[in-house]
């Protein structure tokens, strides 16, 4: 992998991890457009590094919130911070169950099926459009909401369904405050990313053979910087009800992908 490939992949990961356009869907479309061989050179280790970079950018953006949460936990009381962490744990349950029980079935969907990705992007567009029309009630995320949002996150394991788009849209459609919905959506994925990284390392799935340290470093920096930008931008867009722009984008890309998959499959 050369420097340019590392930069491009890093930027794609950083932007699409937070913007509601589906990072997995765009990577699958990239495979179809660029060719499997080009993208296949991106090892699991490189993918893990990129995810680690975006998780780190989330921590940087929400550092004050995280410090506040940790401070609340250290009081060992059932306070607002403790409840927030408990809700995060509840939201992780659906994705954890699906990931463990259907790991092979999910991996089979990541085989360059442009038609499938196209249909999922259209669904993402619909969710974003509905969420953009929802009223901002100021309602906090409840435990029941947390589980429902977790189900949306589990569904977003499908290529083409945006994780941030589906979780924020679901939260907003449940009547939750838009700013709080975005905050919950971005923070809930951090433990899942670190959990997946730990699983891959302990399971021996990651190999460092013939590793290009330069490409890894460049990809990490590109994903981290673009992630900082995308996360900050996304929070502002959710507050201003600007998700319809991404709905149009996902619809257009989805329709193109469906046409491409139908006529060239």
Task: Of 123, 110, 112, give the one whose Cα is nearest residue 253.
Answer: 123
Q: What is the pLDDT of residue 41?
A: 41
Rounded (5°) CA angle 209-212-217: 125
Give the C-alpha separation, 127 to 15, whole Å: 19
243: part of which helix (H) or strand (E)?
A: helix 243-264
pLDDT level of residue 229 (50, 70, 90 thresholds): very high
Query: Mean per-residue pLDDT for 59-85?
Result: 90
Rounded (5°) CA angle 35-37-41: 125
Give the C-alpha separation, 175 to 264, whole Å: 42
Q: What is the pLDDT of residue 126?
A: 93
Give the C-alpha separation, 72 to 131, whole Å: 31
Q: Note the pLDDT tens digit of each residue in 171-199.
A: 988 988 888 888 898 898 888 788 877 77
**DSSP per residue over 193-224, as a string?**
HHHHHHHHHHTT----TT--HHHHHHHHHHHH
Residue 140 pLDDT > 70, yes or no? yes
Percent of the chain with pLDDT over 90: 24
Q: What is the pLDDT of residue 222?
A: 93
Q: What is the pLDDT of residue 67?
A: 92
The overall average pLDDT reported for the chain is: 82
Give the C-alpha separation, 167 to 150, whole Å: 7
Q: What is the pLDDT of residue 17?
A: 82
Q: Note the pLDDT tens digit of each residue in 41-55.
A: 445 577 778 888 988
Q: What is the pLDDT of residue 13?
A: 81
pLDDT level of residue 98 (50, 70, 90 thresholds): confident
Q: Are 163 and 21 a contacting pair, CB within 8 Å?
A: no
Percent of the chain with pLDDT over 70: 85
Rounded (5°) CA angle 113-24-59: 175
Q: What is the pLDDT of residue 42?
A: 47
Residue 243 pLDDT > 80, yes or no? yes
Query: Mean per-residue pLDDT for 123-129?
Result: 91
Domain boundaries, the chain: 3-264
pTM of the full structure: 0.81
Count of positions (residues) in the chain: 265
The token duo for 50 is: 């990129």
Quickly count: other Cβ atoms within 10 Å of residue 24's Cβ: 22
3 state DSSP class of 10:
helix
Q: What is the pLDDT of residue 248?
A: 93
Residue 135 pLDDT > 50, yes or no? yes
Query: Mean per-residue pLDDT for 51-80?
Result: 89
Query: Mean per-residue pLDDT for 222-240?
Result: 89
Alpha-carbon distances, residue 62 vs 47, 59, 66, 165 (angstroms): 23, 5, 6, 19
Quickly count: other Cβ atoms within 10 Å of residue 42's Cβ: 19
Q: Are 57 and 10 a contacting pair, CB within 8 Å?
A: no
Residue 144 pLDDT > 90, yes or no? yes
Q: What is the pLDDT of residue 34?
A: 56
Task: Of 265, 257, 260, 248, give the one whose Cα is nearest residue 119.
Answer: 257
Residue 25 pLDDT > 80, yes or no? no
Give Dmax (Cα) for the chain.
60
Give the C-alpha separation, 63 to 40, whole Å: 34
Q: What is the pLDDT of residue 91?
A: 92
């Amino acid at each position: 992998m050369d420097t340019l490939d590392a930069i491009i992949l890093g930027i794609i990961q950083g932007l699409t991890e937070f913007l509601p356009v589906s990072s997995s869907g765009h990577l699958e479309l990239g495979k179809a457009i660029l060719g499997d061989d080009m993208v296949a050179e991106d090892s699991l280790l490189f993918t893990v590094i990129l995810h680690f970079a975006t998780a780190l950018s989330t921590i940087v953006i929400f550092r004050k919130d995280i410090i506040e949460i940790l401070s609340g936990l250290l009081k060992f009381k059932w306070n607002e911070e403790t409840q927030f962490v408990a809700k995060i744990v509840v939201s992780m349950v659906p994705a954890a169950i699906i990931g463990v029980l259907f790991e092979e079935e999910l991996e089979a969907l990541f085989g360059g099926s442009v038609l499938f990705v196209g249909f999922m992007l259209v669904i993402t567009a619909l969710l974003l459009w509905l969420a953009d029309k929802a009223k901002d009630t100021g309602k906090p995320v409840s435990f029941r909401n947390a589980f429902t949002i977790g189900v949306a996150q589990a569904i977003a394991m499908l290529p083409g369904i945006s994780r941030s788009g589906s979780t924020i849209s679901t939260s907003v459609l449940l009547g939750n405050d838009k700013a709080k919905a975005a905050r919950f959506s971005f923070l809930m994925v951090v433990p899942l990313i670190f959990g997946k990284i730990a699983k891959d390392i302990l399971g021996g799935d990651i190999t460092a053979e013939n590793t290009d340290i330069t490409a890894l470093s460049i990809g990490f920096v590109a994903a981290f910087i673009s992630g900082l930008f995308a996360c900050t931008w996304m929070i502002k867009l959710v507050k201003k009800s600007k998700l319809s722009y991404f709905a149009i984008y996902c619809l257009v890309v989805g329709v193109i992908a469906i046409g491409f998959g139908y006529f060239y499959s």
